[in-house]
Amino acid sequence: MASNSTPRHQGRLELTWTDKDKTLLSTGDGKYDYTFVDPTDYRVSEVRLLHEVGRVEAPTPESRPAELPQPTSDNLLITGDAMHALDALAKIPAYSEKYAGKVKLVYIDPPFNTGQAFTHYEDNITHSIWLTLLRDRIRQIRPLLADDASVWVHLDHMESHRCRVVLDEELGENNFVAEVAWQKADSPRNDTRLLSTSQDTILVYRKSESWVPNRMPRLAASNTSRYQQRDGDPIPWRDGDATAGKAATNHPMVYAIQHPVTGGLMYPTAGRCWGKAQSWMLEQMSEYAPYELRDIGDEAERARICGTTPGMVKAGVPAIMLSVSVEEAAKHARTRYDAGHWPDIVMLGLRERIQRKKHLEDNGRVPETLWLGSEVGGNLRGKIEIKALFPDEHPFATPKPERLLARVIHIASNPGDIVLDCFAGSGTTAAVAHKMGRRWVTSELLPETVARYTLPRLTKVVNGQDPGGITTITERVSAVGEDEGEERDLPTGMTPEEAQEFNRLLTKVTKAADEDLDAATIRALKAATKTKNVTTDNWHGGGSFTHLQVGESMFVEMAGMVLLADWATQGALAEAMCAQLSVAYEPDGIFAGKQGRARYVVIDGMVGPGTIASIVDRLAEGEMVEVWATQIQDGAVEALKQARSGSRLELIPDKVLDNYRRKSARKSPFGAGRSMPSPRDADDSAEPAAAVAATDRESA
């Protein structure tokens, strides 16, 4: 017999590609050159150290206006693979305490997969490599995000459609916010064989529903053309609907209002109801004339509006009726209307039509998804800005203008928030974030790019030597009455840009006219629409950043074996091991670090029972110890087990590599597995007299 049960569906919508189950490893020594490896490969799993290269700082100039955001000082420029930089930020306590779960905005402009190869920004990445690169970075970025964070991924037309599917998988399709179209070109490329592409795409995702975008400054045109002050109301307003939908479910909101001049009854249109509570409507109408609530037995008309029958409409809903004669009410209404600054319920011209004031809210404009080059700049503007910083070079094919990044940063963060960009390029994101008072972290794989462009540019920003981009802002403003020493506004509803264009066209018309025009009228029109440019300095210098370098691997391969690198000895080994363990490196005698009741000892040498006794002797009551050593003597594991329950002794690098392979559920790859290594053959005489652990990094 056929089953009547509903078939169960399996699987999910996802994008698949070659070697999707693998991860990428940079193999080009400072180049965008990758190979696919297993996710547990030690070269991917290893947490690299970050070494300080230098620091750039400058005092805040006294000339800086107090209302501008304070320059920030806790910023990082990292040279090295983003894979290692992001891991270090998330897993090394010195950085994770500052950045894990605290990054407010991530903007990444990964290398476009166009098949082009640029001198300073290699782009020749196949689809599979590109998608894996993007996915891996997003997975590393997630632990750094604050709950109210957002991720903005800048793309061209080559990968945007595939990227969105990947981002849906990694960040959740319910967290997709928008797809922004940025006009990067204002004219077509005539050398294009098919269609000339004028825009890039920026995909916007949120970490969670906690993210709320900041609003944009309201356009001057929307301030004046739609909202007016026709009655003397100090807040501009426009006509709004006094009704709302769903009359069928809001019977008590459907009733008559008697007009104060004609005495006629006004109802909402069919299917609609009054948009505010009856008590509020009564209060508003009472400003025009004396009113009262009165049952007028109008169930039939109310039922028609509600789309039901008189027997089904809610009975006993009173109307708002005049409590005086129509003649007396009309006098009150005309006097009130002529006085101006009308109530929120208005009847323009005292006609039989009720409207509601919709005041101009001072909370800005909702961000839109079409960003014109005239508003945020295009590729040409980006090139001009880079050219001003590096006059004799052409380092980047598609530099982004600072105004574009300023809009992203304005919408998605506030002063003091952390902005992250792990594909720094010329450093535009960090430069704009610094000028806007945000903290920032940026990394770049190519050392030459950092040395020649990123570092010099950010140094100029801190020192106040970058006059371009958003350092200054130029606005068109009214200059009406300036010649007479009395500044006045432009005509109502006209923006400075419209006034400038009007003046330009008026000049063309007067020059082309066949007959003489009235000169006085022309002068008056030009004077009434006169505008000028006003430039404001937004950045004066100040703040600081630290330049870090991703350290070398603590491992090397020789004859198919993974061994410790030459530099990984003594204190340098201890610091590197603490990074793998996600333990803060805080040398204290023989101890390299501490986490709760657990102490950590890293020994470059042999550990036997005597060393174990010496270590345990230094533990406080209730403390445990993890000992990591490059050599372990027979009996040492059992000695530690007997001396301090819960403690462990592990072999470097064998157990480290084993834990990389075992890495699964826990955040730290070193929590899983308690198996002990096979003891090395040695005698007690080979055991050091004292444990050598957290020493200075003389070998680093």
**In this predicted structure, what is the pLDDT of residue 393?**
82
Confidence of residue 670 (pLDDT cuts 50, 70, 90): very low
More confident residue, 617 or 361: 617
> Where does a domain end: 303, 331, 359?
359
- Element at 408 (helix H, strand E): helix 402-412
Q: Is 603 within 8 Å of 611 (Cβ atoms)?
A: yes
Q: Do 429 and 289 belong together in one domain?
A: no
Q: Is it the case that residue 394 has pLDDT exceeding 80?
A: no
Burial class (CB within 10 angstroms; exposed 0-12, middle 13-18, buried 19+) of 399: buried
More confident residue, 353 or 574: 574
In the chain, % of residues over pLDDT 90 = 66
Q: What is the dihedral of CA 375, 378, 380, 382, to 10 degrees?
A: 90
The tally of CA atoms less than 13 A away on the side-chain side of residue 670 is 24
Residue 631's nearest CA partner among 602, 591, 659 is: 602
- Please, what is the average pLDDT of the chain? 88
Tell me if 574 is assigned to some domain: yes
Taking every pair of C-alpha atoms in the chain, what is the biggest distance, in angstroms? 118
Tell me if 17 is assigned to some domain: no
The pLDDT tens digits for 511-535 are 887 677 788 888 888 889 999 998 9
User: What residues contact 96, with CB distance under 8 A and at least 6 apart?
Assistant: 89, 90, 582
Q: Do 52 and 177 belong together in one domain?
A: yes
Angle of the 379-389 helix axis to the 455-462 helix axis, nearest 10: 80
- Count of beta carbons in the 10 Å neighbourhood of residue 6: 6
Q: Do 192 and 45 belong together in one domain?
A: yes
User: For the chain, how many residues are written?
Assistant: 700
Residue 68's nearest CA partner among 522, 438, 532, 546 is: 438
**In this predicted structure, what is the pLDDT of residue 693?**
40
- For 387-409, what is the mean pLDDT? 89
**In this predicted structure, what is the pLDDT of residue 667?**
38
Residue 614 domain boundaries: 553-686
Q: Do 462 and 492 belong together in one domain?
A: no
Amino acid at 341: H
Q: Do 325 and 408 belong together in one domain?
A: no
Q: Do 386 and 501 belong together in one domain?
A: no
Q: Is it the case that residue 239 has pLDDT exceeding 90?
A: no
Q: Do 198 and 74 belong together in one domain?
A: yes
Q: Is 149 within 8 Å of 206 (Cβ atoms)?
A: yes
Whose tokens are 């440019």? That residue is 533
> Where does a domain end: 421, 436, 470?
470
Distance CA 612, CA 642 (A): 10
CATH number of domain containing 111: 3.40.50.150
Tell me if 221 is assigned to some domain: no
Tell me if 18 is assigned to some domain: no
The pLDDT tens digits for 556-576 are 999 999 999 999 999 999 999
Distance CA 385, CA 382 (A): 5
In the chain, % of residues over pLDDT 70 = 89
Q: Do 197 and 284 belong together in one domain?
A: no
Q: What is the 3-state secondary structure (H, E, C) of 476-493?
A: EEECCCCCCCCCCCCCCC
More confident residue, 70 or 485: 70
Q: Is it the case that residue 549 has pLDDT exceeding 60?
A: yes
Confidence of residue 119 (pLDDT cuts 50, 70, 90): very low
- For 129-133, what is the mean pLDDT? 89
Distance CA 210, CA 213 (A): 10
The pLDDT tens digits for 137-177 are 999 999 999 999 999 999 988 889 999 999 999 999 999 99
Torsion sign, CA atoms 380, 383, 388, 392: negative
Distance CA 285, CA 276 (A): 12
Q: What is the 3-state secondary structure (H, E, C) of 169-234?
A: HHHCHHHEEEEEEEECCCCCCCCCCCCCCCEEEEEEEECCCCCCCCCECCCHHHHHCCCECCCCCC
Confidence of residue 303 (pLDDT cuts 50, 70, 90): very high
Tell me if 537 is assigned to some domain: no
Q: Is 528 left (phi over 0), alpha (psi -120 to 50) or beta?
A: alpha
Q: Do 436 and 503 belong together in one domain?
A: no
Tell me if 540 is assigned to some domain: no
Tell me if 3 is assigned to some domain: no
Tokens of 355: 């409207």
- For 616-629, what is the mean pLDDT? 96
Beta-bridged to residue 673, according to DSSP, are: none
Task: Read off the DSSP letter of residue 633.
Answer: B
The pLDDT tens digits for 11-29 are 778 888 888 989 888 876 5
Q: Do 294 and 399 belong together in one domain?
A: no
- For 72-83, what is the mean pLDDT? 96
- For 69-73, what is the mean pLDDT? 95
> Where does a domain end: 303, 329, 359?
359
Whether residue 143 is preceded by a cis peptide bond, meaning omega within 30 degrees of 0, is no
Q: Do 258 and 124 belong together in one domain?
A: no
Amino acid at 317: V
The three-point CA angle 32-34-39 to 5° equals 130
**In this predicted structure, what is the pLDDT of residue 124?**
47
Instruction: Tally the domains of the chain.
Output: 4
Tell me if 5 is assigned to some domain: no
Tokens of 677: 């290594």
Dihedral pair phi/psi, residue 594, rounded to 5°: -145, 140
**In this predicted structure, what is the pLDDT of residue 194?**
87
Q: Do 562 and 675 belong together in one domain?
A: yes
Whose tokens are 């690299």? That residue is 48
- For 109-137, what is the mean pLDDT? 68
Q: Is it the case that residue 221 has pLDDT exceeding 70?
A: no
The pLDDT tens digits for 625-635 are 999 999 999 99
Q: Is it the case that residue 74 has pLDDT exceeding 80?
A: yes
Residue 99's nearest CA partner among 89, 87, 108 is: 89
Number of H helices, E strands in the chain: 21, 29
